[in-house]
Structure 1
Amino acid sequence: MHDEEKKIALYENFKTINSIDPTYYEQYDVKRGLRNADGTGVVAGLTNIANVHGYIVSDNEKIADEGHLRYRGYDIYDLLGDQSAEHRFNFEEVAYLLLMGDLPTREQLDRFISVLDSERELPDGFTASMIMRDTPPDIMNVLARTILLLYAYDPDAEDRSAHHEIHTAISLISRLPRIMVLTYYAKRARYNNESMIMHRFVPGQSTAETILSMLRPDRQFTPDEARMLDVMLCLHAEHGGGNNSTFTTRVLTSSDTDPYSTYAGAIGSLKGWKHGGANHQVLAMQQEIKENVADWSDEGQVADYLAKIVRKEAFDNTGLVYGMGHAVYTKSDPRAIICKQFAQNLAAGTEYEAEFNLLKTVERLAPEVILREKGTSKDMCANIDMYSGFVYSMMGIPEDLFTPLFACARMSGWAAHRFEEIVSGKRIIRPAYKSTRSGKRDYVPMDER
């Protein structure tokens, strides 16, 4: 038997061995995905960090409602509402709020930004030995790897004190954007035979400015571009304790592992195509629609192609319209509303305006098409992924960086949840799994099998 045949023999029963009769889930009232039958989440913990509101439960009935997102009690619309020249960037203020619990004074914010600035340097030789060496094709894996490797450079890596936890979080919030951009160029050098660009960071620049300055070969960017990226970082900074990567952070923290292992695990979760990696699916679906709809302004043509997607005749044959729907939000996703508004401002009068209008049409028609094709009238709104990839594309940010940017922003939220779990969790998270195998199997000696 050839090696390949041997491997196939090992794999051929994979589905059979790992299948569980789906009727058992109802029989034992198992909350698959930690979701109740009506789609509401199973309450697994408490938090003061964020409130993600998308529906009301009244008399045990789930009722759709307008979406709200609040960080430490502050509405996201209010946090991003100041457009004055003196208050151009928000991410550092949002990060401070998430980590420290309150909005900073000017003095506190300046000190926090100064600390972030002082932490951007990487250990000597780190870029050449850890980022440029054996660079894998996915940047998210490098982010996870470098976080784990930074453990080795921390003499107090196993310290669980508040001082060390806060310092580690701030260090990673500061360093991840640099690591991300350096990895992007390392990947292009290895796989595309292109030049390795290694710009120094500019002290005093905001996180958004640092990313654009290091990413652009000529280091040039407009104030509007930096402001838009700053908004995207704020929108991705936190989203409650129930999202997969934050829950991963909580689970790992509850086991009393070190912060580096915890944040690397969260990045592994965020990479998933059903979580942070979903933006790739959205962009790919939108590209297919653009290529197959002759007149983007013709709603009939757009609706017809959406119907093909819903009928599993187009795109990835799943029947899903990516960018529509959310686990919590029903009538509206506030992140999508803000992102859409900024996208409209950036696209107005440019070559991107027609594409933006197409996305608005997809958003408006998708619920109608799904109702007509499937007969389901589930409350559905556009989520942030409907417009986030479009915004990044307008700024010339490559698709390889979409999910890593998400990770750079969410570090502050993950850290806040780790801190809260350390102080208030107190118990290792250990849900129950019901065994469906009844009875004991008799052991059979090797020669009798």
Structure 2
Amino acid sequence: MMTMTKNVEHALFEITPEIQQLAQLCEDNNAIEKELYTKYEVKRGLRDVNGKGVLAGLTNISDVCAKKIVDGEEVPCAGNLYYRGYNIKELVKGFLEAKHYGFEEISYLLLFGELPTEKQLAAYHETLVERRTLPPNFVRDVIMKAPSRDMMNSLSRSILSLYSYDAKADDTTIPNVLRQCLNLISQFPMLMVYGYHAYNYRLGEDLFIYAPSPELSTAENILMMLREDRKYTKLEAKILDMALVLHMDHGGGNNSTFTTHVVTSSGTDTYSTIVAAMASLKGPKHGGANIKVTQMFEDMKQKLTDWKDEDAVRQYLCDLLDKKAFDQKGLIYGMGHAIYSVSDPRADIFKKFVKQLAKEKGFEEEYALYEMVEHMAPDVIGEKRRIYKGVNANVDFYSGLVYSMLDLPPSLYTPIFAAARIVGWSAHRLEELKNVDKIIRPAYKPLAPHRDYIKMDDR
């Protein structure tokens, strides 16, 4: 096998002048006038100007409500999220009052449609425990080899590799797909944490791989396997568990869940479907947003000499919108949502416990800064931008701070989101397989005029 020369390496990993020239050609010939989207009534992002999504399907799994009918008209209201018809606020209140972890109970609800009895929950927990295992030598042969600096890519490779170990990988009957989904839900924390440790080992750090404990919940196992001393507090585990519950699903139209429906409709296997959903979630406009929030605040804290100076904070937010600060994208990350215009119920629930965790961890000053930005940002955005609906803090705004206080590495922020959302993806995949036997294929209006072929000598 030939080794790559330096020139070949340069061509593979550098943007050469030739690539730059071709890229300009791509840009020139792919530009579409924005006015044409309005002319042909194209809903960019599959949403209208008010953020309302185009109806693409039906679901029983979850519902996102941000409006109510008043005098015959739709008006914005405080947001609500429902899992199988149950308000997320009531579900969280229920398992907190019962003093048990919520991931197992609520994942049962999303997958099977009903809240479990005590006996059903115990049996389901045993099912998950039995599946918290990987094929022989999988850690050595797959996870430890060429670990990626990006954990979402590492996870995707691991999941695709599991396909090779499954004798019924392409069987799309409901019982088999459910088996595969339960396996992946159970295995995901191991794939995530082991992938992280494998990459750090390549960087010269100590390697420790802990098997999950059958006595522990999913959230507890994540913290235990991640930390060298295996220690965590009850509050840490409770808040991580809550984060997993709040991120499990969010209607059928969010980008990664819609991807699940689209890819499932093609008839492909479960492993490929979940990896496609993960590729979607990885994006900074979706699951990667919580990392952006944390990075934005780190930049803000470095730039501000006094975190309590409201004028300085306001100026920084203005600079963000004017593309003068942080990543020059013109965004205040963690503010605004495609659906919610008054409040994000997940953020509201989170916030009640963030302050408690901030006190335990000594993050009171950071929490106060987050609160100031939350209250100030909507006014600043309203002054700078023409907005069609309200702006509020979304779940990513506080989840990044929570993960930071839990001492979770930033490279695992989005994988933890995926460890929760894989439950929703699984439920939606099963729903698509049960109800729809038609490949999803929306229409695009062609704009390029038809042209006659030109022979090479005449070009």
CA distance 1:60–1:414, shift in 2 (3 Å): farther
- What is the CA-CA distance between 1:446 and the residue it aligns to? 2.0
- What is the CA-CA distance between 1:17 and the residue it aligns to? 1.9
- What is the CA-CA distance between 1:300 and the residue it aligns to? 2.2
Task: Give TM-score, length-normalised by structure 1.
Answer: 0.96
- Local SS of the residue matching 2:341: coil
Q: Gaps spanning 5+ residues in structure 2: where?
A: 1-9
Question: Are 1:45 and 2:45 counterparts?
Answer: no
After alignment, is 342-351 or 116-125 more displaced?
342-351
- Counterpart position of 2:3: none
- Counterpart position of 1:370: 381
- Count matched residues: 446
- What is the CA-CA distance between 1:18 and the residue it aligns to? 1.6
Within 1, Cα distance between the matches of 2:20 and 2:328?
27
- What is the CA-CA distance between 1:11 and the residue it aligns to? 2.8
Within 2, Cα distance between the matches of 1:91 and 1:364?
31
Match of 1:263 among 260, 274, 292: 274
- Percentage identity across paired residues of the two chains: 46
- Local SS of the residue matching 2:164: helix
Q: Gaps spanning 5+ residues in structure 1: where?
A: none
- Counterpart position of 2:294: 283
- Counterpart position of 2:216: 205
After alignment, is 7-16 or 394-403 more displaced?
7-16
Residue 249 of structure 1 aligns to which amino acid in structure 2? Answer: T
Within 2, Cα distance between the matches of 1:335 and 1:217?
31
Question: Are 1:246 and 2:268 counterparts?
Answer: no
- Counterpart position of 2:240: 229
1:34-79 CA distances to partner (integer Å, 9 max, x unpaired)? 0112221111111110011112477996521110001001111111
Residue 165 of structure 1 aligns to which amino acid in structure 2? Answer: V
Mapped contact 2:174–2:434 kept (Cα < 8 A):
no
Question: Are 1:427 and 2:438 counterparts?
Answer: yes
- Counterpart position of 2:6: none
- Local SS of the residue matching 2:446: coil
Match of 1:95 among 103, 107, 118: 107
- What is the CA-CA distance between 1:169 and the residue it aligns to? 0.6
Compute the RMSD of aligned alpha carbons.
Answer: 1.8
Question: Are 1:352 and 2:363 counterparts?
Answer: yes
- Counterpart position of 2:354: 343
- Counterpart position of 2:230: 219
Mapped contact 1:55–1:328 kept (Cα < 8 A):
no
- Counterpart position of 1:131: 143
- Counterpart position of 2:327: 316
Task: Give TM-score, length-normalised by structure 2.
Answer: 0.93
Residue 295 of structure 1 aligns to which amino acid in structure 2? Answer: D
- Counterpart position of 1:436: 447
Mapped contact 1:208–1:229 kept (Cα < 8 A):
yes
Residue 444 of structure 1 aligns to which amino acid in structure 2? Answer: I
Question: Are 1:162 and 2:177 counterparts?
Answer: no
- Local SS of the residue matching 1:436: coil
Residue 97 of structure 1 aligns to which amino acid in structure 2? Answer: L
- Local SS of the residue matching 1:82: helix
1:368-416 CA distances to partner (integer Å, 9 max, x unpaired)? 1122333657401100111101111111111111000000100110011
Mapped contact 1:38–1:62 kept (Cα < 8 A):
no
1:197-216 CA distances to partner (integer Å, 9 max, x unpaired)? 21121122110011011001
- Local SS of the residue matching 2:64: strand
Within 2, Cα distance between the matches of 1:208 and 1:307?
38
Mapped contact 2:236–2:406 kept (Cα < 8 A):
yes
